[in-house]
Amino acid sequence: MDKIVPITKKLFKMADFYKCLFVTYDSKKNQIVPASKLNQGINYCWMLVQLFQVVCQVISMATRAASLAQLAMGITLTFGCFIGFMWHLDLRRDNVPAQIWNSIADRKGITTTPQRETIIFICLALMFNGILVVSIVVPLLLAAVVAISPCLPPFLSSLFCRPDNMEWIFDKKIKLGFAIIEFVLYSMGTIAGAYYGVFFQPPAISRLWLDCKTLIESPDIVENQFSVYRKIQIYEKTLNSSIRDRIFLLMALLCPLFQVLAGFASIVAANSGNFSILVVCGMLYCVVLSVTLISFSAAAKVSQITQIWIMSTRAKCKIKVDRKTLKSLVSLRIQFGMNFVEALTPLVVQEFCVQQTTSLLLLR
């Protein structure tokens, strides 16, 4: 966790600037704590602004899109904004993600291999740094596109162009104002959604994976392993209660579709010569691919490892009490809605993405 805590602090500095989260980072306590009432009220306003943005983007796509490249880019950006909005839409102001993050940041793990933990959190740190770069570079590129071509859908400025010939009817100052608005909205939406979908979920699932891996490699007697498994089980139940109905459910249902759209839009933009949109869609594709791969792979490993541990422990149970205790245990599962991640789920998800992207390319 030492690798990702400084990067998480940077995210919260950006979030505090926009006041777009219900929580903030307290440097004195080194913990995530609830934000002030004022900031929480401003965050509700940001949610309404995001909803308005998504509605305007849908209207722009329905009335302004003229070419396949514009349609692909517009749907990708609109869908990405919708995912960020749904992740951000934490109306209950749930503090459980912050409490889980604080708990895994404070502890050193049950007893895990230092090298394995270091490698995993280095990978997470690289992904986090990539998200911070995307939260600045992508809004800047989109703002530049608006400043140059304000009539492109799904930007808000396209609604103020002439519908017959798609010409800008206002002066350059208003065009610059729309570019600034787009930068602020995309940057704020990326930061708010990234807290839930990227900075909380992958580390929490990876921590569970590391603890399960430590358990299966433990030389302790069966009774001690049972005690450790119960502790891990409590953490798994707490994590599922926080992510199964919104955070991980949205990732399982929407992120594969967004990956398909971003991949298709990148190829269309490359063929049309629109390199700014190619860079934007390419960066979005890399981000969603890395997030889904890490989250689904870690969740699949949790299920696979605990199943192996339960099967291998049967031979070690020599007394009746241990055998009954083992029968009461079930394998750990990361859930989304009423479903859960199995060992082959990551491959199924990526196979779906490849097949659907190929189908779109053949149909265009």
Q: Which domain range does residue 293 map to?
A: 5-363
Rounded CA separation 230/228 (Å): 5
- b or e along 261-296 (b: 16 or more beta carbons within 10 Å of the residue's beta carbon)? bbbbbbbbbeebebeebbebbbbbbbbbbbbbbbbb
> What is the phi-psi region of residue 317: left when phi exceeds 0, alpha when psi lies from -120 to 50, beta otherwise?
beta
- According to the model, what pLDDT value does residue 108 have? 57
How do beta strands 339-340 and 335-336 pair?
A: antiparallel
DSSP string, 291-302: HHHHHHHHHHHH
- Beta bridge partner(s), residue 133: none
Q: What is the mean pLDDT of each run of 10 residues along the chain (364 residues)?
A: 88 95 92 94 96 95 82 92 94 90 76 75 92 94 92 90 78 91 95 94 93 84 87 94 93 95 93 86 94 94 92 84 87 91 93 94 85
- According to the model, what pLDDT value does residue 189 have? 94
Q: How many domains does the chain have?
A: 1
List helix spans (H) across 314-344. 320-327
Tokens describing residue 239: 């994590």
Rounded CA separation 281/202 (Å): 22
Q: Indicate the SS3 state at residue 326.
A: helix
- Beta bridge partner(s), residue 23: 34
Q: What is the DSSP letter of 32?
A: E
pTM of the model: 0.91
- According to the model, what pLDDT value does residue 109 have? 47
Is residue 78 within 8 Å of 57, Cβ to Cβ? yes
Rounded CA separation 352/347 (Å): 9
- According to the model, what pLDDT value does residue 317 have? 83
